[in-house]
Chains A and B, each alone.
Chain A
Amino acid sequence: MGLPISNSKLGMWLFLGTEIMFFTAFIGTYIVLYFGSPGWPTDTHVTHINVFAGATNTFVLILSSYMVVVAHEAMAQRKFDKAYKALTLTFALACLFLGIKAYEYYGKFEYNILPGRIAETDSQAIDMAVKEVDASVNSWLNQLVPGDSRADRIHVKRAAARGYQSAESDLAAVDSQLTEVKTQAAAASGAQRTALRDRQTELERQQSLYSALIANKAELANWVALDDAATKFRDDVSANRLTMAQTADRLKELQANAAFAPHLAGVHLPHPIPYGNLFASMYFLMTGFHAVHVIVGMILFAFVLTQGSRLNEKWTDWVENSGLYWHFVDLVWIFLFPLLYIIPGFDRGTPGH
Chain B
Amino acid sequence: MAYQETADAHHEPHHVHYKLIFFALCVCTVISVALDIIPLNRRLVAFAVLAVAVAKAQYVMRYFMHLKFEGAWKYVLLLPTAILAVGLPLALAPDIGLHYYTPDVPQVRAAAQAEASHAEGTHDAGEAESHGGEAH
Q: What residues make up the interface of A, taking CB atoms closer than 8 Å to B?
A: 1-7, 13-14, 17-18, 20-21, 24-25, 27-29, 31-39, 43, 45-48, 51-52, 55, 58-59, 62-63, 65-66, 68-70, 73, 75-77, 111-113, 118-122, 124-125, 243-245, 248-249, 268-276, 316, 320, 324, 327-328, 330-331, 334-335, 337-338, 341-343, 345-347, 350-352
Is A248's CB under 8 angstroms from B128's CB?
yes
A2-B2, A45-B136 known; A330 and B53 CB under 8 Å? no
Is A20's CB under 8 angstroms from B93's CB?
no
CA distance A14 to B25 in the complex (A): 26
When C-beta atoms are compared, the residue in chain B nearest to A108 turns out to be: B132
10 A-B pairs in the complex with CB atoms less than 8 angstroms apart: A4-B71, A35-B93, A35-B97, A69-B18, A69-B64, A122-B110, A275-B107, A346-B46, A347-B42, A350-B111
User: Secondary structure of the B side of the interface?
Assistant: helix
A7-B3, A45-B136, A248-B129 known; A121 and B93 CB under 8 Å? no
Q: What residues make up the interface of B, taking CB atoms closer than 8 Å to A?
A: 1-3, 5, 9-12, 18-19, 21-22, 25-26, 29, 32-33, 35-36, 42-43, 45-46, 49-50, 52-53, 56-57, 60-61, 64-65, 70-71, 73-74, 77-78, 80-82, 84-86, 88-89, 92-93, 96-99, 102-103, 106-115, 118, 124-125, 127-136
Is B124's CB under 8 angstroms from A39's CB?
no
When C-beta atoms are compared, the residue in chain A nearest to B116 turns out to be: A351
- A32's partner among B10, B35, B36, B93 (CB-CB below 8 A) is B93
- A330 CB to closest chain B CB, in angstroms? 6
Is A70's CB under 8 angstroms from B18's CB?
yes
Is B84's CB under 8 angstroms from A21's CB?
yes
A39-B107, A274-B110 known; A75 and B89 CB under 8 Å? no
Is B133's CB under 8 angstroms from A111's CB?
yes
Is B132's CB under 8 angstroms from A47's CB?
yes
Is A46's CB under 8 angstroms from B3's CB?
no
Is A62's CB under 8 angstroms from B22's CB?
yes
When C-beta atoms are compared, the residue in chain B nearest to A37 turns out to be: B107
Residues of A near B135 (CB, < 8 A) are: 271
Residues of B near A24 (CB, < 8 A) are: 85-86, 88-89
CA distance A350 to B111 in the complex (A): 8
- B132's partner among A27, A248, A273, A352 (CB-CB below 8 A) is A273
Residues of A near B84 (CB, < 8 A) are: 21
Is A45's CB under 8 angstroms from B57's CB?
no
CA distance A225 to B115 in the complex (A): 38
A244-B124, A273-B132, A342-B49 known; A120 and B110 CB under 8 Å? yes
Q: Which of A32, A35, A330: most chain B CB closer than 10 A?
A: A32
When C-beta atoms are compared, the residue in chain B nearest to A22 turns out to be: B85
Is B88's CB under 8 angstroms from A244's CB?
no
Residues of A near B111 (CB, < 8 A) are: 38-39, 274, 350-352
Is A29's CB under 8 angstroms from B89's CB?
yes
Is B42's CB under 8 angstroms from A345's CB?
yes
Is A334's CB under 8 angstroms from B92's CB?
no
Is B33's CB under 8 angstroms from A25's CB?
no
